[in-house]
Amino acid sequence: MMFTAQVSSTVLLAASAVSAGTVLWDGRFNDYASSADLDKWSFSNPVGEYQYYIHGKGETAEYVNLSADFKNPGDSASKQGVKISLTDTAFWNGDAMRRTELIPQTKAAINKGKVYYHFSMKRSETNAPSVNREHQIAFFESHFTEMKAGWISGAQGDSDPALRWFADSKSQWDTPWEAGVWHNVAYEIDFDASTVGFWHSTGSDALKQTVAPVKASTSSNGADWHLGVLELARSGFTDANEDIFFSGVYIESGDLTTAIGSGSAAGSADTPPPAAKPVASSSAVIAPAPTTLATSTKAPSTTSAPSATSTKAPSTTLATSIEAPSTSVAAQPTLSATTTAARPTATRKCRKRKARTVQQVAA
Ligand SMILES: *[C@@H]1O[C@H](CO)[C@@H](O)[C@H](O)[C@H]1NC(C)=O
């Protein structure tokens, strides 16, 4: 009957509507004509969805390239995906590590309450990330949660083919990182409860909670989640070109969207699209003072190396925060994670994050 059919479809619509949360920030590149649009962004002209300052000195397309070929084909909400590359020039700020990273440009509350950080990631056979070196992927400044791939500093042996999810400085989940497989991820972050859970699927499958929330030192200034990759240098291993592909990047609050390629595809409303005309700096009366990212003073410190199971503290880092970071305990390696297994005697250098003399960018 007509009436019944109508009721059914209404019920279905209502059901699908409640299963989606609110998109706080949309990083799906749907408004970007090409990665050159990232060049329109600066601290004093914060247009578009991404901050782009952690990269080498070459052309943007050498490190960040957009194409429909680079997205998870199961994701119809994204027009294109991004290829993030490490090349022989991918050194940022005089550091020895190769880095190509994008950071959400938003004033939305992506660092408060309970939020879901969505992204899909893939590697190819071509330009595969080295299995001999540590890659920190889609990480926060304090490394309370991140993906990792490759041999992890301090581990036994020479190589590691796994893709891992880290939280609380421990490997909580891993899988062989095979070429051509799209891994869909959502970090379930509760900034109030200080927990992080892990949702995962492959291809076009719906996300499933793969690791229930674990305690972690959740903290973020709202501009320190790094979509992209940082690769630690390792002596004896040369730099080859490496690519990692991402798509379906967005941050959501409320109810988790588990379907891939779902979630509202609308651009986030809080920043103009990259096509917006850049404000001439001379007329930007209220523009904040130029930001200076001081070169970090790396005071090497020694820390016990972790066990071969990679239950190690995050290394690095990072000094990428645009606000002077509080000297966060979470940024430092902690020994607690390494006490459960026999430790190799080797020590490794860790970079101590120094408070930066960085001017506040916020207007
Ligand atoms: C960027 O990707 C496009 C589309 O695949 C390709 O034609 C172009 O050569 C790429 N550019 C670089 C610098 O890799």
Domain parsing of the chain, residue ranges: 20-263
- pLDDT over 90 for what percent of the chain? 66
What is the pLDDT confidence band of residue 280, given thresholds at 50, 70 and 90?
very low
Mean pLDDT, the chain, integer = 77
Whole-model pTM: value is 0.74
Cα-to-centroid distance, 236 and ligand 1 (Å): 31
pLDDT attached to residue 187: 98
At residue 200, the pLDDT reads 98
Residue 35 Cα: closest atom of ligand 1: 1
Pocket test for ligand 1, best of 65, 100, 242, 243 (most atoms within 8 A of CB): 65
Q: Which has the closest alpha carbon to 261: 275, 247, 272?
A: 247
pLDDT digits (tens, 9 = 90+) for 226-279: 999 999 999 999 999 999 999 999 999 999 999 998 655 444 434 444 443 333
> CB–CB of 104/138 below 8 Å?
no
Q: Kindly report, residue by residue over 220-236, the tens digit of the pLDDT.
A: 999 999 999 999 999 99
DSSP string for residues in 56-108: -SS-HHHHEEEEGGGS-TT-TT-S-EEEEEE-TT-B-TT-SSEEEEEEE---S
CB of 80 shorter than 6 A to ligand 1: no
Query: Average pLDDT of 301-317?
Result: 36
Give me the pLDDT at residue 20, please: 79
| C-beta of 69 in contact with ligand 1 (< 6 A) | yes
Choose among 15, 17, 30: nearest CA to 267. Answer: 30
Q: Tokens 């959501």 correspond to what residue? A: 252
Sign of the Cα torsion 8, 14, 18, 19 reads positive
Tokens matching residue 158: 């020479």
- Nearest alpha carbon, ligand 1 atom 5: 67
Q: Which of 29, 67, 124 maximizes ligand 1 atoms within 8 Å of its Cβ, making it the mutation to test the pocket?
A: 67
pLDDT value at position 302? 32
CA nearest 24: which of 93, 113, 129, 147?
A: 113
Which residue's alpha carbon is nearest to atom 10 within ligand 1?
Answer: 65
> Averaged over 106-131, what is the pLDDT?
98
pLDDT at 114: 98
State in Å: Cα 65 to ligand 1 middle: 6
For the domain made up of 20-263, give the CATH fold.
Answer: Jelly Rolls (2.60.120)
pLDDT in tens, 120-169: 999 999 999 999 999 999 999 999 999 999 999 889 999 999 999 999 99
pLDDT, tens digit (0-9, with 9 covering 90-100), for 26-85: 999 999 999 999 999 999 999 999 999 999 999 999 999 999 999 999 999 999 999 999
Segments of 191-233 assigned E as strands: 195-202, 208-215, 225-231
